[in-house]
């Protein structure tokens, strides 16, 4: 009895059609875009593009954006923006480097302190957004400037400079390198461990979003916060947790960068917030919240990473990269709107 | 009709102030199991404020609130849900971009697995959403389709089916038929009658006296935050109800005004519409 019902239902579901279901999936556009971009550079710069080293390079570029873009996408689906992620990369790096080089603490202690501070700043962003009810765009634009200014000001006050180098001489560097910056040899090419971090974050985020209770809450909170609240979703706590997640991602990227280049620069992460939002939007996430995909954000970061590195491989001036990013953003929003209208209005 | 004399939900002399605005003043009302209580009144009369107090969105400024004879004070909609009081709101019952089954279980997701592997049981959610909608006579082909693809009446029905499925004992509906056509309103009214037959206490807000008369057992009329009292169907004819809801003078003025348009096509169309509505409510009543 139970099996016949299930079989009947499966049959009916199949009738919905693969095309309809594909069109309903938010990351479709990003997947198509990634293929187009890959093929484009395969034609334009085949030598570098087909080499494992070339691949490892553009994957690393994509990873450093994707680590941020995926949590930013979750937050966007939850209905909020975080423009302060880039400045939080600078802040986390500065805390780590100052504690190590000025106070003589092991790097991992500095990293832990930086994590606590990042979590606190994320919490503060979240609290301000849910308590004031102001657009998070404004609140985090404010924190962007406050955090960046404080980072530069305090670093200069303590060290007299805005950069700190030779961090590989600090205690605890080797251990940190194995977690955050080691290269993994794959068939002769060196793939940065940050690529693994990026894919891991993407996989976990996709699982949380699509297969857990919290994921359903994120869609609900972003789709219609009041409606979600009224069926018992803890919308405020959820949003605060999402802001803390983007802050944690900023901290992770900061740690990876500090350990990889063995130095700290207070300006690190500039404009990252915009690139992360572009990657999320290119990945099919709606600016208005309630709809989107973590896999889409992974693909969005991949597209931007491929273009950024592909432009170098093709020997074109890097200026064109910015033109591409802007054009891509507008195109993606147009496609997203079309897909959303289909999802909302298409009758069965 | 009721089997139990203790009301499922009762308020005594409650008032609600928003700063200087007096939204409710000294309102008393009770609903029993197996009964549809209609809450009637003009725009701004305080109907939504009253049911938001019942459902834990607001707290009353003064007065007492009892659930099954026990005095309560709810801090959140979750508290009310835990006491079996489910509410379907006027306009934001559903999230259009989310699938039917995700909407159905939002806030009360079924899970399987333990620890970090605890996950949303989507197969179960799809199956139950499909079954529960089928019980209401709405055949959804694919529970993973966005709610935005459903009609307004179907959406309200999903919200009602959800409340019933989650064991609501008291169902509060804020203008569920407001934006609906005649046929779709009929679907929702039929489901209200079904909920009553299952022994639920129903609070039903509407501006439409025909809808109210079709399913209501008792009628509480609010005007500018005060209550005119509660009437049974025997005590209140449909005409009286219409008069009380709109105010006799206003109605006379309106009738006069409408007479001037008597020969326009528009009125003909409207006349036809209310005739159909009348037939429908007679059938259901
Ligand atoms: N949160 C609030 N803050 C201030 N005033 C409010 C608030 N909610 C309701 N009011 C006021 O309380 C009064 C009653 O509003 P309520 O929404 O309960 O009316 P209603 O009977 O549901 O009207 P409608 O039929 O238009 O839905 C109105 O004057 C309204 O402006
Ligand atoms: Mg109302």
Q: What does the pLDDT read at residue A247?
A: 98
State the smallest CA–CA distance between residue B16 and chain A in angstroms. 20
Q: Which ligand neighbours the alpha carbon of B43 most closely?
A: 1
Q: Is the pLDDT of residue A346 over 80?
A: no
CA of B21 to the centre of ligand 1 (A): 9
Closest CA to A266 of A89, A141, A84: A89
Neighboring chain B residues of A13 at a CB cutoff of 8 Å: 141-142, 144
Q: What is the pLDDT of residues B124-168, one digit of tens each?
A: 999 999 998 887 777 787 888 888 888 777 888 888 888 888 888
- Band of pLDDT at residue B278, cut at 50, 70 and 90: low
The model's pTM is: 0.80
Q: What is the pLDDT of residues A197-231, one digit of tens each?
A: 999 999 999 999 999 999 999 999 999 998 898 78
DSSP A23-39: HHSTTHHHHHHHHHHHH
- Its ipTM equals 0.81
Q: What does the pLDDT read at residue B271?
A: 54
Q: Is the pLDDT of residue B249 over 60?
A: no
How far, in Å, CA of A267 to CA of A247, rounded? 17
Residues 202-241 of chain A with CB under 8 A from chain B are: 207, 211-213, 215-217, 219-220, 223-224, 226-233
Q: Is the pLDDT of residue A348 over 60?
A: no
Q: Which CATH number is B9-246 given?
A: 3.40.50.300
Query: A322 Cβ partners below 8 Å, 6+ apart?
Result: none
Q: Is the pLDDT of residue A191 over 70?
A: yes
Q: What is the pLDDT of residues A300-313, one digit of tens each?
A: 999 999 999 999 99
Q: What is the pLDDT of residues B177-231, one digit of tens each?
A: 887 777 778 878 888 888 898 889 999 998 888 888 889 999 998 888 888 888 8
Closest CA to A130 of A165, A174, A92, A79: A79
Q: Is the pLDDT of residue B106 over 80?
A: yes
Helix (H), strand (E) at residue B259? helix B248-259
Phi and psi based region of residue A60 (left: phi greater than 0; alpha: psi -120 to 50; beta: remaining): alpha
Q: What is the pLDDT of residues A264-289, one digit of tens each?
A: 999 999 999 999 999 999 999 998 89
How far, in Å, CA of B211 to CA of B11, rounded? 24
- Band of pLDDT at residue A7, cut at 50, 70 and 90: very low
Residues comprising chain B, all counted: 285
The CATH fold assigned to A29-341 is: ABC transporter involved in vitamin B12 uptake, BtuC (1.10.3470)
Q: What is the pLDDT of residues A69-96, one digit of tens each?
A: 999 999 999 999 999 999 999 999 999 9
**Tally of CB atoms within 10 A around B259:** 10
Percent of chain A with pLDDT over 90: 65
Q: What is the pLDDT of residues A139-182, one digit of tens each?
A: 999 999 999 999 999 999 999 988 888 888 888 888 899 999 88
- In the predicted model, what is the mean pLDDT of residues B32-60? 91
User: Strand B85-88 to strand B111-112: parallel, antiparallel, or no bridges (unpaired)?
Assistant: unpaired
- Band of pLDDT at residue B273, cut at 50, 70 and 90: very low
What ranges do the domains of chain B cover? 9-246, 252-283
**HSE of A52 in the Cβ direction (CA atoms, 13 Å)?**
9
> In degrees to the nearest 10, what's the CA dihedral of A238, A242, A248, A252?
140
Helices marked H in chain A: 2-15, 18-24, 28-44, 46-50, 52-77, 85-101, 107-132, 136-159, 173-180, 193-211, 213-223, 225-230, 235-261, 272-282, 294-313, 319-345
- Band of pLDDT at residue A1, cut at 50, 70 and 90: very low
Neighboring chain A residues of B57 at a CB cutoff of 8 Å: 230
Q: What is the pLDDT of residues A15-47, one digit of tens each?
A: 556 676 666 678 888 898 899 999 999 999 999
Percent of chain A with pLDDT over 70: 91
CA of B57 to the centre of ligand 1 (A): 13
Query: Rounded mean pLDDT of chain A?
Result: 89
Candidates A13, A24, A216; nearest CB to B109: A216
The CA distances from residue A283 to A26, A60, A278, B116, B246, in Å, are: 7, 18, 8, 27, 53
How far, in Å, CA of B238 to CA of B231, rounded? 12
Q: What does the pLDDT read at residue A345?
A: 59
- Band of pLDDT at residue A6, cut at 50, 70 and 90: very low
Q: What does the pLDDT read at residue A223?
A: 92
What ranges do the domains of chain A cover? 29-341
State the smallest CA–CA distance between residue B109 and chain A in angstroms. 6
- Band of pLDDT at residue B260, cut at 50, 70 and 90: low
Candidates A207, A216, A230; nearest CB to B87: A230
Q: What does the pLDDT read at residue B24?
A: 93
Burial of A7 (0-12, 13-18, 19+ CB in 10 A): exposed
Helices marked H in B107-221: 122-135, 152-165, 182-197, 209-215
């Amino acid at each position: 009895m139970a099996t016949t019902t299930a079989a009947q239902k499966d049959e009916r579901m199949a009738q919905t059609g693969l095309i309809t279901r594909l069109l309903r999936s938010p990351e479709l556009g990003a997947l198509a875009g990634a293929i187009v971009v890959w093929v484009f550079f395969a034609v334009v710069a085949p030598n570098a593009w087909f080499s494992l080293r070339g691949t490892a390079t553009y994957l690393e570029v994509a990873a450093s954006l994707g680590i941020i873009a995926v949590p930013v996408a979750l937050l966007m689906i939850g209905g909020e923006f975080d423009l302060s992620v880039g400045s939080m990369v600078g802040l986390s790096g500065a805390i780590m480097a100052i504690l190590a080089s000025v106070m003589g603490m092991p790097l991992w202690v500095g990293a832990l302190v930086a994590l606590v501070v990042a979590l606190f700043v994320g919490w503060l962003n979240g609290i301000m957004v849910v308590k004031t009810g102001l657009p998070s765009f404004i609140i985090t634009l404010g924190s962007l400037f406050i955090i960046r200014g404080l980072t530069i000001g305090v670093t200069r006050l303590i060290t007299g400079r805005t950069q700190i180098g030779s961090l590989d001489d600090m205690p605890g560097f080797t251990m940190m390198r194995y977690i955050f910056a080691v290269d993994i040899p794959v068939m002769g090419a060196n793939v940065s461990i940050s690529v693994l971090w990026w894919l891991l974050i993407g996989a976990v985020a996709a699982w949380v979003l699509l297969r857990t209770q919290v994921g359903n809450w994120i869609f609900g909170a972003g789709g219609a916060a009041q409606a979600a609240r009224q069926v018992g979703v803890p919308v405020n706590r959820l949003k605060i947790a999402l802001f803390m997640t983007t802050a944690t991602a900023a901290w992770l990227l900061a740690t990876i960068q500090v350990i990889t280049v063995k130095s700290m620069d207070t300006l690190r992460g500039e404009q990252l917030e915009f690139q992360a939002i572009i990657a999320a939007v290119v990945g099919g996430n709606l600016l208005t919240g309630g709809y989107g995909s973590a896999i889409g954000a992974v693909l969005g970061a991949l597209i931007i990473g491929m273009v950024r590195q592909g432009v170098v491989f093709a020997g074109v001036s890097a200026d064109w990269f910015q033109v591409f990013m802007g054009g891509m953003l507008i195109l993606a929003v147009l496609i997203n709107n079309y897909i959303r209208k289909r999802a909302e209005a298409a009758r069965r | 009709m009721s089997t139990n004399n203790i009301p499922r939900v009762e308020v005594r002399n409650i008032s609600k102030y928003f700063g200087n605005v007096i939204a409710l003043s000294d309102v008393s009302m009770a609903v029993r199991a197996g009964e549809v209580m209609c809450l009637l009144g003009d725009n701004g009369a305080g109907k939504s404020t009253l049911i938001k107090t019942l459902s834990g969105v607001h707290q009353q400024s003064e007065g007492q609130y009892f659930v099954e004879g026990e005095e309560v004070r709810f801090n959140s909609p979750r508290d009310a849900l835990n006491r079996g009081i489910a509410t379907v709101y006027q306009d934001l019952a559903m999230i259009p971009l989310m699938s039917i089954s995700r909407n159905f279980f939002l806030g009360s997701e079924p899970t399987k697995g333990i620890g970090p592997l605890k996950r949303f049981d989507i197969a179960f959610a799809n199956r139950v959403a499909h079954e529960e909608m089928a019980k209401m006579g709405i055949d959804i082909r694919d529970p993973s389709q966005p709610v935005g693809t459903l009609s307004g009446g179907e959406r309200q029905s999903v919200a009602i089916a959800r409340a019933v499925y989650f064991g609501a004992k008291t169902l509060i509906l804020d203008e569920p038929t407001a934006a609906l056509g005649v046929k779709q309103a009929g679907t929702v009214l039929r489901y209200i009658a079904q909920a009553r037959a299952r022994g639920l206490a129903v609070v039903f807000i509407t501006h439409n006296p025909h809808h109210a008369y079709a399913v209501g057992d008792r009628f509480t009329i609010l005007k500018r935050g005060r209550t005119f009292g509660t009437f049974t169907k025997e005590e209140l004819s449909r005409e009286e109800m219409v008069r009380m809801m709109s105010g006799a003078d206003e109605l006379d003025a309106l009738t006069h005004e409408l007479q001037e348009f008597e020969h326009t096509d528009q009125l003909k169309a409207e006349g036809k519409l209310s005739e159909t509505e009348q037939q429908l409510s007679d059938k259901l009543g």
